[in-house]
Amino acid sequence: NESLFKWLVYLYDVWKNIDEEAVFYSSLVAIGELLKTGCTCTTDHHYLFPLGVSGDLLGVQFKAAEHLGIRFSPSRGSMSLSVKDGGLPPDSVVQTEEEILSDSQRVIERYHDSSDFAMRKVVLAPCSPFSVTEDLMKESARLAREYEVRLHTHLAETADEDEYCMKHYHRRPLSLMEDLEFIGEDVSYAHGIFFNNDELDILAESRTSIAHCPSSNMRLGSGIARVREMLDRGINVALAVDGSASNDTSDFLGEMRAALLLQRVKYGAGALTAREVFRIATENGARLLNFKKIGKIQEGWAADLALFNINRLEYAGTLSDPVAALLFAGINHQTEYTIVNGKIVVRNGRLTGYDEQSIIKNANRIARKLLK
């Protein structure tokens, strides 16, 4: 029940205690729900590397993804600007820039696969303007382009962020990104609520992508992104659930419905169609993550499919338009089958790669421990 900045300050004190086990099981929970609600490829902005916690936290995410069979492109996120230096996070969850850049290079070299049908890629993602320095933004962009991997950050999410950037950098968030060369076809921004008209034009001209997080934005009372206007300008908008911390679920089908309806609150009943949202959730997401041959059913492309049983009570009478039925009637409606890279990863509504009861039991145990 707090806005973003107050919510983060509270959670930093919880997050300082995460370890490999917590990251592994939280990844299984999120990926499992994504697979069971129609998502076959995802990313995760993992920016928490607490002081004193050893191990390969991104590596255990790849392990979870491999168990469950999802196509996975997580980001090696980072926070380097602690509260004592003018940032938002405490010392307990920040790293030095030398540590961050060294580990970013290690992660790329160990895990990134640039092939057409890759099951794993790596993104570099300094967390936000209020948690990293300008130098880290610039050096991360340099390193990413040297290795030809994607870049990501949170941007223009809240009015507080705008005020922070004006106070500390004397410019708006997007102007800061332009100056740091953290913009372009290889860059995506999460949220993008507070862009003005001129900034939307800049995003379109630079071919920068936006990851739209409607449920998170409603949950935190942040605002409504101007998705209709972005699409009209040719900006690539993809869909994100934003994880359990700010959304409480990873229900991908439910997120599609939220995106569809929230734009109608802002722009009216014809703001977005079901097929536009379907494209945002599939083709546009593949483009944002730089996967060349996923996102649609086409000869020679990856066999990534989600199969829903629409012979169910909640869909009765809606089948004149199956796509619209799936979105308007679909909240946490789970797939019968999910197939990734030709492999069945959900069968008869159950994960095939890991025991669901084990995931639930361990996730609940770890959550209780973190909140003590």
Torsional class of 170: left (φ above 0), alpha (ψ -120 to 50), beta (otherwise): left
Compute the CA torsion angle 260, 262, 263, 266 (nearest 10 deg).
160
* pLDDT confidence band for 164 (50 / 70 / 90): very high
Strands (E), the chain: 41-42, 45-46, 71-72, 75-78, 123-126, 150-155, 187-191, 209-212, 237-239, 305-307, 337-340, 343-347, 350-351
Tell me: pLDDT of 330 over 80: no
Q: Please, what is the Cα angle at 356 between 341 and 351, to 5 degrees?
A: 20
107 is written with which tokens? Answer: 């992660």
The helix, strand and coil proportions of the chain, stated in percent and rounded to the nearest 5, come to 50, 15, 40
Tell me: pLDDT of 246 over 90: no
pLDDT at 174: 99
* pLDDT confidence band for 206 (50 / 70 / 90): very high
Which amino acid, residue 302? A
Find the farthest-apart pair of alpha carbons in the chain and give their distance in angstroms, rounded.
59
User: Could you tell me which CATH class the domain 4-370 is placed in?
Assistant: alpha beta
Which amino acid, residue 336? E
Region 234-243 average pLDDT: 97
* pLDDT confidence band for 333 (50 / 70 / 90): confident
CA 81 to chain centre: 22
220 is written with which tokens? Answer: 């935190």
pLDDT in tens, 53-71: 989 999 999 999 999 999 9
Q: Are 222 and 191 in contact (CB under 8 A)?
A: yes
DSSP string, 284-350: HHHHHHT-TT-SS--TTS---EEE----SGGGTT-TTSHHHHHHHS-SSPPPSEEEETTEEEEETTE
Query: Rounded to an integer, what distance in angstroms lies between the CA atom of residue 282 and that of residue 279?
Result: 5
pLDDT at 372: 83
pTM: 0.97
Region 22-48 average pLDDT: 98
Task: State the average pLDDT for the chain.
Answer: 96
At a CB cut-off of 8 Å and minimum separation 6, what does 270 contact?
Answer: 264
- 164 vs 3, 8, 171, CA distance in Å? 15, 15, 9
Region 155-180 average pLDDT: 98
Torsional class of 86: left (φ above 0), alpha (ψ -120 to 50), beta (otherwise): left
